[in-house]
A and B are shown apart, each in its own frame.
Chain A
Amino acid sequence: MRHIISLLMENESGALSRVSGLFSARGYNIESLNVAPTEDETLSRMTIVTSGSNEVIEQIIKQLNKLIDVVKVLDLNDGRHIERELMIVKVKATNKYRDEVKRISDTFGGRIIEIAETTFTIELTGPSSELDGYLDSLDKAAIIETVRTGALGIGRGDRILKI
């Protein structure tokens, strides 16, 4: 099953490689990994999307907790949460396609952020599955380039990851 794991870790050099190294060394899946500083400059927040059986996910959480630089780990799938991913897509948009691309983008709540002679660049935010749906709706041949952040997640209501 797919899990979104959020963690706070000391903002030290090499911290990212400790996490990515753990996943490769122990053969865990990694779908996406996102890391950035938080409002507390000494901490980084990392969001990892992974998949595995319950036993494997349990081990992943334990092994992450075991890393010395990791302060706190939360499996967002243990409770209600919000998931968002940002994607930027460049698509071929010549005469006859321009209206169709705009229409599909509007349907998914996408925003055209650049209009060039033959291309549109669209920004889209939503749960990862919704972004997949958007890409599926486009003509495959029209997609020139996609760039995605990987999923981010946050607990709903009073589910908070903070120290």
Chain B
Amino acid sequence: MKPEIITGAEITIRSLQEENVEFVFGYPGGAVLNIYDAIHQQTVFKHVLVRHEQAAVHAADAFSRATGRVGVALVTSGPGATNAVTGIATAHMDSIPIVIISGQVPTHAIGSDAFQECDTVGITRPCVKHNFLVKDVNKIASTIKKAFFIASTGRPGPVLVDIPKDITTETAEFIYPKTIDMRSYNPVVKGHSGQISKAIDLLINAKKPMVYSGGGAVLGDAAKSLTKLVKKLDLPITNTLMGLGGFPASDQNFLGMLGMHGTYQANMAMQECDVLLAVGARFDDRVISNPEHFLKNPKKIIHVDIDPASISKRVKIDIPIVGDVDLVLIDLLKAYQEVEKNHNKKLISPWMEKIKDWSDTDCMAYKDDGSVIKPQLVVQKLHEVTKGDAFITSDVGQHQMWAAQYYPFDKPRRWINSGGLGTMGVGLPYAMGCQLAFPESQVACVTGEASIQMCIQELSTCKQYNLPIKIITLNNRYMGMVRQWQEFFYGNRYAESYVDALPDFIKLAESYGHVGMKIEKSSDVEGALKEAFSPKLKERLVFMDFITDQTENVFPMIPSGKGLSEMILAKDE
């Protein structure tokens, strides 16, 4: 067969096709013009033109979160790459597999402070799983292959490939490697069998067992095995913010989310348990708060995680099990079956009674006299109207916590938010990524009037691609979470947290060609949501501006640095 000699730009595109890429989110510019020219001449994947590079990376990130596949973004050199950095760091903190292709100035110009030059590999190094600068056209294909392999295996994460412009015009034979073997990168997949039987032994003999699962259980597609194991052993379970949907929220074993704004029962059970099974979670500061306080109640901790560096990072682990969480959970189930006959489930009855007492505090209750729209009510009604089956994206702040608290997720990959980096502005581009991946599904972006303005330009992208996203803005005319902290810890001095000079969101939405709705009465909430999700508006983006209670706070709340059992509850206020 005659060797296929094509340009670097074509090799880049062909490599993406070989990876079965469906969407490339991007924005053109000088250094990537050759790549864009090659995109123009192909029809295998679709390019989605965003309005800001940050949104390209967020959308690719959400595509991955919703589908489990690798998301792809394409940006130009210099400002294209620096604009992408927030998106890359966001994906990195939540371990999301994406590949970012960035253009670079020609190799001979690198280091000369050329127009639109920046050290992209240097700037992104701390916020990627790995990155590459390709200096040889013969290495484009193998580098892209490596990028997808690294992004999607082990603990996933973003990988950036920086390609200088001259390399995209040079030619080479196109050979896409079928497999990749890297002597320096061999993630562990299977858990240690000795550790697995020790773990089961601890769990069945525990008097106060508890399960805590995080984003790793969702990203590792382990929801099924996790649910099976928890139901089989009949254990109480909580999810982190990133782990929501990893175990069905409507199940009776579920205690709700834990952490800074977790439920009373979940946090108390975490604090007082004697054996803890942690699955794909990393004991971070927003989850266990103060580690010394957390360990005041002695407990044995079993930690299942794909990343050895997550083990004993903040809390000393007794039984580490490094491996693919789904495979480890399956092995745990097998190990349990062998000793099932010795398992006396009555052993934990007093513990379950105690948990029931904690649950009876009804920590999620909120006062609603109907005089003003309560943000919690909007989320609850959204859950009803969408039958709990929508993709919910959120921005960052109070609305994010209310969405997490009042929209119970029964399925994984339905709750799409920035947990680690906490990036305001992700909500709308996240919704774009979900809607493109699942055109027939309902996608709602729960946001605030401050967050939504951080990527509002994407309303234009939504128009171009007819994305019928429903934007649920909980508009309290404040940066709510900042205001809440200022109320609690800064003597009500609301420094710069009031959002003044807000736009008329209805007119704004309309000017982009969308539908706008303003909802000011509590009694109108349900009707408005029903209308937005009705067949009449099925094809339209609806921007819903809910004017909500200006001073509502998120409860329960653990003040920063305090212990899990030191929550402030709504009734204390």
Beta-carbon contact of B308 and A62 below 8 Å: yes
Beta-carbon contact of A69 and B121 below 8 Å: no
Contact of B126 among A21, A66, A69 (CB under 8 A): A21
Beta-carbon contact of B121 and A14 below 8 Å: yes
Q: Which residue of A lies closest to B131 (CB)?
A: A14
**Known interface pairs A21-B125, A21-B126; A69-B184 also in contact (CB < 8 Å):** yes
Q: Does A58 contact B (CB under 8 A)?
A: yes
Contact of B133 among A9, A13, A18 (CB under 8 A): A13
How distant is the Cα of A62 from the Cα of B309 in the complex, in angstroms? 5
**Known interface pairs A55-B312, A66-B307; A17-B183 also in contact (CB < 8 Å):** no
**Known interface pairs A13-B133, A14-B133, A17-B122; A68-B308 also in contact (CB < 8 Å):** no
Q: Which residues 57-72 of A have a CB within 8 angstroms of B?
A: 58-59, 62-63, 65-66, 68-71
- What residues on B are CB-neighbors of A17 within 8 Å? 122, 125
- Interface residues in B, total, Cβ within 8 A: 19
**Known interface pairs A14-B121, A70-B184, A163-B183; A58-B312 also in contact (CB < 8 Å):** yes
Expressed in whole angstroms, the minimum distance between the Cβ of A25 and any Cβ of chain B is 5
| Residues of A contacting B: mostly | helix
Q: Does B313 contact A (CB under 8 A)?
A: yes
Q: Does A83 contact B (CB under 8 A)?
A: no
Contact of A71 among B129, B133, B184, B311 (CB under 8 A): B184
Q: Does A85 contact B (CB under 8 A)?
A: no
- What residues on A are CB-neighbors of B129 within 8 Å? 68
Q: Which residue of A lies closest to B307 (CB)?
A: A66
For B107-141 the 0/1 string (1 means CB < 8 A from A) is 00000000000000110011001100100000000
Beta-carbon contact of B125 and A18 below 8 Å: yes
Q: Does B242 contact A (CB under 8 A)?
A: no
Q: Which residue of A lies closest to B126 (CB)?
A: A25
- What residues on B are CB-neighbors of A66 within 8 Å? 307-309
Q: Does A10 contact B (CB under 8 A)?
A: yes
**Known interface pairs A18-B125, A21-B125, A70-B184; A65-B308 also in contact (CB < 8 Å):** yes
- What residues on A are CB-neighbors of B121 within 8 Å? 14
Q: Does B150 contact A (CB under 8 A)?
A: yes
- What residues on A are CB-neighbors of B130 within 8 Å? 68
Q: Does B489 contact A (CB under 8 A)?
A: no
Q: Which residue of A lies closest to B154 (CB)?
A: A66
- What residues on B are CB-neighbors of A62 within 8 Å? 308-309, 311
- What residues on B are CB-neighbors of A55 within 8 Å? 312, 316
How distant is the Cα of A65 from the Cα of B312 in the complex, in angstroms? 15
How distant is the Cα of A16 from the Cα of B133 in the complex, in angstroms? 15
Beta-carbon contact of A68 and B122 below 8 Å: no
For B145-160 the 0/1 string (1 means CB < 8 A from A) is 0000010000000000
- What residues on B are CB-neighbors of A18 within 8 Å? 125
For B173-204 the 0/1 string (1 means CB < 8 A from A) is 00000000011110000000000000000000
Q: Which residues 143-163 of A have a CB within 8 angstroms of B?
A: 163
For B21-49 the 0/1 string (1 means CB < 8 A from A) is 00000000000000000000000000000
- What residues on A are CB-neighbors of B150 within 8 Å? 68
How distant is the Cα of A62 from the Cα of B184 in the complex, in angstroms? 14
Excluding A14-B121, A25-B126, A58-B312, 14 further A-B contacts by CB distance (< 8 Å) are A13-B133, A14-B133, A17-B122, A17-B125, A21-B125, A21-B126, A55-B316, A59-B312, A62-B308, A65-B308, A66-B308, A68-B129, A69-B184, A71-B183
Selected A-B contacts with CB under 8 Å, 8 pairs: A10-B184, A17-B122, A18-B125, A55-B316, A65-B308, A66-B307, A68-B182, A68-B185
Partner-A contacts on B (CB < 8 A): 121-122, 125-126, 129-130, 133, 150, 182-185, 307-309, 311-313, 316
